[in-house]
């Protein structure tokens, strides 16, 4: 019964609109200040402060104080995976109403970061390429050959699970998370192959990136 209690508690943390908005914003993998989140969610700073305290105590967020700022971020990849799987379950939802909202959600569907890896159509394209190259199996496990291939891109195995399926909530099929997904995303950003759009989670494949992917055999 203690387990039930714990389940209800973690669910309660996300059951509030404002806290859910905080977590959703933090899915971009970066650290936000308390005020930024308050403005983002449209609540008073005092309200945001209390919510953040609860989320940190609940283990969903990590905080890190610096001078007069309180930076918060997701407590780890496991939190991101939990959030994505819940969002995927919650489903596509209804269509956006305004033109502004429509173009924003379209950009997100095209490509975005999901904590530390890629998501959206871009991630599915990447997965397809990796499948064709024989880096991944159909169940998204990395093959022996795949490990060599990843190694050439600077990947080094750690104690973290190499590959992990993460259900994409816009495409409704799994994309690649785990250590490999995180490494690829980081490498693409570092090389300028993938670039963030403004300050949002949305990303695009640059023309340099398209070139790079083609050279690696990921496209076509």
Residue (82 or 216) nearer to a second copy, CB: 82
Classified as helix, coil or strand, 63 is strand
Tokens of 3: 């387990």
Among 6, 10, 11, 17, indicate the residue that binds DNA (CB under 7 A). 17
- What is the Cα gyration radius of the chain? 18
Work out which of 26, 31, 60, 70 binds DNA, going by CB under 7 A.
Answer: 70
Residue 28 partner contact from a second copy, DNA, none using kind-dependent CB cut-offs of 5 to 8 Å = none
Give DSSP secondary structure letters for 80-122: HHHHHHHHHHH-S-SPP-SHHHHHHHHHHHH-EEETTEEESHH
By CB under 7 A, how many residues form the interface with DNA?
A: 26
| Residues found near a second copy in the complex (CB under 8 A) | 1-17, 19-21, 23-24, 59, 78-79, 81-83, 85-87, 89-91, 93-94, 96, 101, 137-142, 161-165, 169
Dihedral over Cα of 55, 37, 190, 108: its sign: positive
Residue choice 46, 98, 158, 207 for contact with DNA (CB under 7 A): 46
68 contact choice in DNA, a second copy, none (CB below 5 to 8 Å, kind-dependent):
DNA
* Least gap, CB of 19 to DNA (angstroms): 7
Applying CB under 7 A, which of residues 23, 27, 43, 184 lies at the interface with DNA? Answer: 43
Q: Which residues of 149-171 are buried (b: 16+ CB within 10 A; e: fewer)?
A: bbeeeebeeeeeebbbbbbbbbb
DSSP annotation of 13 reads H
Given DNA, a second copy, none, residue 217, with its beta carbon under 5 to 8 Å by kind, binds none
């Amino acid at each position: 019964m203690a387990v039930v209690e714990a389940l209800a508690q973690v669910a309660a943390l996300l059951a509030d609109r404002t806290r859910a908005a905080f977590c959703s914003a933090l899915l971009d993998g970066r650290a936000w200040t308390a005020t930024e989140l308050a403005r983002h969610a449209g609540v008073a700073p005092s309200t945001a402060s209390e919510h953040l305290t609860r989320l940190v105590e609940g283990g969903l967020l990590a905080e890190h104080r610096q001078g007069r700022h309180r930076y918060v971020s997701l407590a780890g990849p496991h939190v991101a995976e939990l959030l994505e799987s819940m969002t995927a379950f919650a489903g596509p939802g209804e269509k956006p109403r305004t033109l502004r909202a429509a173009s924003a959600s379209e950009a997100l569907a095209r490509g975005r970061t999901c904590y530390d890896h890629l998501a959206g159509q871009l991630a599915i394209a990447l997965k397809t390429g990796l499948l064709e190259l024989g880096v991944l199996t159909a169940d998204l496990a990395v093959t022996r050959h795949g490990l060599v291939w990843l190694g050439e891109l600077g990947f080094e195995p750690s104690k973290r699970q190499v590959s992990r399926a993460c259900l994409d909530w816009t495409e409704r099929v799994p994309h690649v998370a785990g250590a490999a997904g995180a490494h690829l995303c980081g490498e693409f950003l570092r090389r300028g192959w993938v670039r963030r759009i403004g300050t949002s989670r949305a990303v695009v494949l640059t023309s340099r990136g398209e070139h790079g992917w083609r050279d690696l055999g990921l496209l076509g």
